[in-house]
Structure formats: structure tokens, C-alpha cells
Amino acid sequence: MAATEAVGGDPGTLSASGAVARRQAVSRASRYVLLAATLIGVAVLAFLTYDTVDAGASRISWDFVTNYPSRFADRAGLRSSILGSVWVLVPTVGLAFPISIATAIWIEEFAPKNTLLTIVKLNLANLAGVPSIIYGILGLALFVRLMELGPSILAGALTLSLMILPMTVIASQEAIRQVPPSTREGSLALGASHWQTVWNHVLPGAMPGIMTGIILAVSRAIGETAALIMIGAFTFIAFDNTSPFDDFTTVPIQIYNWTIRPQEAFRQNAAGAIILLMAAVLTLNLIAAIIRERFRGE
Amino acid sequence: MFVLFSESVTFFEHVSPAEFLLETNWQPLFEPVSYGIWELVAGTFNVVFWSLLMALPIGLAAAIYLSEYAHPRTRRILKPQLEALAGVPTVVYAYFALNVITIDILRPLLGSDVPIFNSLSASIMLAVMVLPTIASISEDAMASVPRDLREAAYGLGATRMEVALRVVVPAALSGIVASVLLAIARVVGETMIVAIAAGSTPFLTLSPLQSIQTMTGYMLQVGLGDAARGTIDYQSIFAVGLTLFVITLIFNIAATIIVGRYREEYE
């Protein structure tokens, strides 16, 4: 049996028949099956966005942002949780930024290449995979109880910075490694010391990559719920935070609080808060993407 | 890590490790008190099983499509959208699991006797959460399979699907396995989705329509109350946390080892 035959009497074009034709048909069909599977993820994203906006958009108003939480759903707002999120994230970044840069510089530029370094690197990779709730109980035992900070903003910031450090250190390391050797060698050839080279040339070159890593880590920390609930941030706050030793609550914890209530009105509040939280997360991701694109060519 | 161990040690002074590992009943809050970790481990692996059952075929299909079928322009549009799913805070997924999946989808579909807290709704959202992990890492692995292998197969008359399934997937298998292990580690460690949607009643079951409790779910439940330091509740979360830590560490290390091997092969 011939595997091919002329199409429409044109001897120039061959077309498969029999088993080969079946295989080709299956292959052509597989494209659409696989495309459909890929689109499931995109469709879920679209559906979730639609559903949240549908449920929560009516709640978004200036009052929703400036009111304290309340047991009356229509009067409840995000004031204390937004302030709490900002209060806890600023020291988190303040701690994680210098520590991750210092660690990455040490590992990439100064550390002796020995077993200790291998162990440190392996540890970092594994720490990045540790579930956030483990950081939560660590923070509970270490900062809340042992250092007696209580469920305070400072304890939350220390816990969150521990959580994002492996991520930011690894991102900083990669950024430093991508600085071309010619930059480094040029500086050394002109008589700069190792430290001057790192400070004046390697670090500025790596800064976009480091910033991208930090911003992505903040977008992770801004949505973190479990670790902060473990250290005791699941509280009713009806005042403006003024000191790092205050109790606090954050936007995702407020979403959790509203989600587990049975009343429909609180479900709408949760959806409204989700819209604002997602807007913040997407903005951070967008900024990171823009920084990455802008400095890619250099 | 030291903290985790020292607090766990105090727990094991009160509860023998044998009871912890051999009893199957987890009932720490009511009499008769019993600390058998297996109900919580079973709860965790219940959601791991069902979420991977959904995420694996879809994630793999997406990876194959993006790597082998899609036009580069299509891939540039679709891949960031898939990866956006990974950046969504998990409390948002938890909201959907409870309010949308259970109430708007599962109940109308499967009847109103579906419990409000069930492992299926949590598993569905966990599957959505790890979909980008599987799709993205597997796609990277497939994209780095050398072109020669593909062209040799085409030269022998294989169709596009045969090249994808019989040449590229086996060649990228170690990267695919690593992506699955990382996905499992993420599901095991995820807290908010299971705590909100899967319930808080430990059961030794793999049934998707049952209310269950996972290791992370239990830890959060204790964390919500204010367990005083030195009480057995407070110590029990460290023992559960240690178990959780060991399980995720095993999956993460296995993934690292497999990825390491794979690199040796192609670079």
C-alpha cells in the first residue's frame, strides 16, 4: 500500500494516506488539545479577576480605605490593616536590603572557595523552599517570646525579613555574577583595590538585578498571611500605629478575617480588599518587569 | 532551626515519639488527648494527591504546548500570564476556594450535601497555585533539549506530537520530575488555602469530599488562639512544624539533586 498519493491529481503535491495520515491527523489534533490545557490557567486567572471585581467593586470607596474594621460590614474598612502593612514592610525592606547585598557580595567576591561556602550556598537554596508558616513559628519562638517583643510590628518585620532573605540573597548573587568580568578587570587594572572595585563598579552594575529581586520579594511579603498570624497579628486594631512596638494587623490578615465570616456582606468586603491587594502586587511585579527590561541590554 | 528542635524536644518530653509516630488519632484539644501525627500527614497528602492529579496533566500539557507548538510570539504572551498565577497571594486563592469553588461550583454540581469545608475545593485552588511551577520549570527543561534530537526524529518521519511525547519529554524528564517535586513541596507547606477551605477536623482519609486538617492547618489553628509558652499546645506546633520541615526538605533536596544530574547531561 502506498503511504502517499497525489493530491487532487496534482502530481507535485504529495499527501499521506493510511497509517501515516492517521498519525498526522492525531498530531494536528494534539495542538488544539494542548492549547486548550494551556488556556485553562489563563481562563482561571480571567474568571477569578472577573468574579472578584464583580463581588467587590461596589465596596471600593474612600470610606473603605479610611475606616477602621467594624462588626458592621458596611462600615468596616482597611485603615488599620493598610497602615499595619506599610509599617511592617518598611523595616522588612530596611533589614533585608543591606543584609542580602552584604551576604551576596561576601559569597560572590570575598568568601574563600571551600566547603563552608558550599554548605552556605546549599543552605540558602533549601531555606528558600521552607514554607512560610515555619518562619512564622520561628518568629513566634525567637522574636515574640524569647526576645519579648510581643506580637509587635518589629517582630513581624524581623520574621518577614528572615522569610524573604534567601530569595533576595539568591537574586543579588545572580545580579552580581552577571556583571561582566571586563568591568571588574578594567577597574583592577587602573589600580583600584578589590573593595573599591566592588563598591564603585560591581555593585552599581548589579543594582537593577538586586532591586528587581527585592521588589519581587516585597510582593511576596505583602501578601503573606500565615507567618504573621502565627506571630499573633490576627487582632482587632482600631487605632493608627505610631511605634514599631505596637500590635498590628495587615491587609491579607483582614481578608482572611472577612473570608471566614459567613455573612455575604463580609464576603464583598473581602473581595474589595482583594482588589486593592492584587493591585499592589501587580504594580510591584510590573515595576520589577520594567526595571528588568530597561537594563537588559547593558 | 535550633529553636525548632529545642521546642520539639520539650514536646517529646511530654508525648513519646512512639505515640507521635504510631498513634493514628490526632486529638490535641479534647479529652482523651492523643497525639498521632498520621491524621495530619494523611490530610496533607490528601490535598497533595488531588491537587497534583489536576495540576500535573494540565501543567505538563501547557509546558509541551509552550515549548513545542507555540509560536514564539504566543509564548511571550502566554507564559507571563501563567506565571502571574504564581504571584497571587495565597489568601486570595483561599477566598476563592471557599466562596467560589465550594459554594458556587461544587455544591450546585455535586449536590448540597457537599460539606462547606472539603479537601476538593482546597485541592482545586492548590492545583491553580502550582500550575505555573510545573508548567514553567518543565518548559525550561524542554526548551533546553538539544535541537539535534528533534531534527533527527523529524528526519525519520515522526510527527510533531511524536517528537514532543517520545523524544522531548523523555529527554527533559529529570527537569519535569524536579518541577513536580517542587510543586509537592509547595503544596505541603501551603497554609491559608487548606486552613480556610479544607476544614479543621483531622481524618485519616483520601476522600476529596471530606473535611480534613493538614499539618499547616493545625499549626494555624493553634496560632489563631493565643497558646501560652510552655503549654503542650504551644510545643505541639513545633513538633508538627519539625515534621513539616523534614518533609518539605526531603522534596526540595530531591529536586535539587535531580536538577544537578540533569545539568551534567546537557552542558
Tens digits of per-residue pLDDT, B217-236? 888 888 777 655 556 777 77
Lowest mean pLDDT among A134-138, B27-31, B108-112, B253-257: B27-31
Which residues in chain B are contacts of A146 at CB distance < 8 A? 3
- All structural domains of chain A, each given as residue ranges with its CATH number in brackets, are 63-296 (1.10.3720.10)
Handedness of CA B209, B213, B214, B220 (dihedral sign): positive
Q: Which of A35, A137, A234 to mutate to probe the B interface, most B CBs <10 Å?
A: A137
Pairwise CA distance, residues A101 & B37, whole Å: 40
Task: Tell me which long-range contacts B139-143 makes (C-beta under 8 A, separation of at least 24).
Answer: B139/B62, B139/B63, B139/B66, B139/B67, B139/B79, B140/B175, B141/B172, B141/B174, B141/B175, B141/B176, B141/B178, B141/B179, B141/B262, B142/B63, B142/B64, B142/B67, B142/B68, B142/B168, B142/B169, B142/B172, B142/B175, B142/B176, B143/B67
B64 to chain A, closest Cα gap in Å: 7
Query: How much is the pLDDT for B8?
Result: 60
Q: Which grid coordinates are listed for B18? A: 512512639
Q: What percent of chain B has pLDDT over 90?
A: 17
CATH number of the domain to which B183 belongs: 1.10.3720.10
User: Contact at 8 Å (CB) between B38 and B218?
Assistant: no
User: Contact at 8 Å (CB) between A137 and B241?
Assistant: yes
B48 interfaces chain A, CB cutoff of 8 Å: no
Pairwise CA distance, residues A167 & B100, whole Å: 32
List the end-to-end C-alpha distance of chain A, in Å, as a whole number. Answer: 60
Angle between helices A79-105 and A153-177 (to 10 degrees): 40
Q: What would the pLDDT profile of A205-250 be if each residue is shown by its tens digit?
A: 899 889 989 998 999 899 888 888 888 877 777 777 777 788 888 8
3-class SS at B91? helix
What's the whole-number mean pLDDT along residues B128-132?
91
For residue B243, give the chain A residue with the closest CA.
A134
Given a cut of 80, whether residue B14 has pLDDT beyond it is no
Query: How much is the pLDDT for B64?
Result: 93
Which residues in chain B are contacts of A137 at CB distance < 8 A? 4, 219, 223, 237-238, 241
Pairwise CA distance, residues B253 & B259, whole Å: 10
3-class SS at A260? coil
The answer to the question of residue B192 being in a domain is yes
Pairwise CA distance, residues B142 & A283, whole Å: 31
B189 interfaces chain A, CB cutoff of 8 Å: yes
Encode burial over B177-216: b for 16+ CB neighbours within 10 A, e otherwise.
bbbbbbbbbbbbbbbbbbbbbbbbebbbeeebebbbbbbb
The answer to the question of residue B170 being in a domain is yes
| Type and span of the H or E element at A10 | strand A10-16
B17: cis peptide before it, omega within 30°?
no
The answer to the question of residue B112 being in a domain is yes
The answer to the question of residue B46 being in a domain is yes
Query: How much is the pLDDT for B267?
Result: 43
Higher pLDDT, B205 or B186: B186
B103 interfaces chain A, CB cutoff of 8 Å: no
Query: How much is the pLDDT for B15?
Result: 61
ipTM of the prediction: 0.82
For residue B73, what are the domain limits?
38-231+240-266
The answer to the question of residue B22 being in a domain is no
Q: Which of B124, B136, B192, B250 to mutate to probe the A interface, most A CBs <10 Å?
A: B192
The answer to the question of residue B17 being in a domain is no
The answer to the question of residue B25 being in a domain is no
Which residues in chain A are contacts of B252 at CB distance < 8 A? 125-126, 129
Query: How much is the pLDDT for B264?
Result: 47
B110 to chain A, closest Cα gap in Å: 20
Cite the DSSP H helix spans in chain B.
2-14, 17-22, 38-64, 72-87, 90-96, 107-110, 119-143, 147-155, 160-162, 169-171, 173-189, 192-197, 215-224, 232-266
User: Would you call A45 and B189 a contact, using CB atoms and an 8 Å cutoff?
Assistant: no
Residues of chain A scoring pLDDT < 70: 1-14, 296-298
Which residues in chain A are contacts of B241 at CB distance < 8 A? 133-134, 137
The answer to the question of residue B15 being in a domain is no
Query: How much is the pLDDT for B224?
Result: 79
Among B207, B182, B180, B236, which residue's Cα sits nearest to residue B42? B207
3-class SS at B35? strand
Q: Which grid coordinates are listed for A60? A: 471600593
The number of beta carbons lying within 10 Å of the beta carbon of residue B233 is: 16
Which residues in chain B are contacts of A42 at CB distance < 8 A? 78, 81-82
Query: Within 13 Å and on the Cβ side, how many CA atoms surround B93?
Result: 30
List the end-to-end C-alpha distance of chain B, in Å, as a whole number. Answer: 35
What's the whole-number mean pLDDT along residues B101-117?
79
3-class SS at B93? helix
| Type and span of the H or E element at A5 | strand A4-7
Provide the number of structural domains found in chain B.
1
What is residue B97's DSSP assignment?
I
Pairwise CA distance, residues B62 & A138, whole Å: 37
B216 interfaces chain A, CB cutoff of 8 Å: yes
Query: How much is the pLDDT for B33?
Result: 56
User: Contact at 8 Å (CB) between A56 and A278?
Assistant: no
Q: How confident is the model at residue B54 (pLDDT cuts 50, 70, 90)?
A: very high
A48 interfaces chain B, CB cutoff of 8 Å: yes
Q: Which grid coordinates are listed for A170? A: 539568591
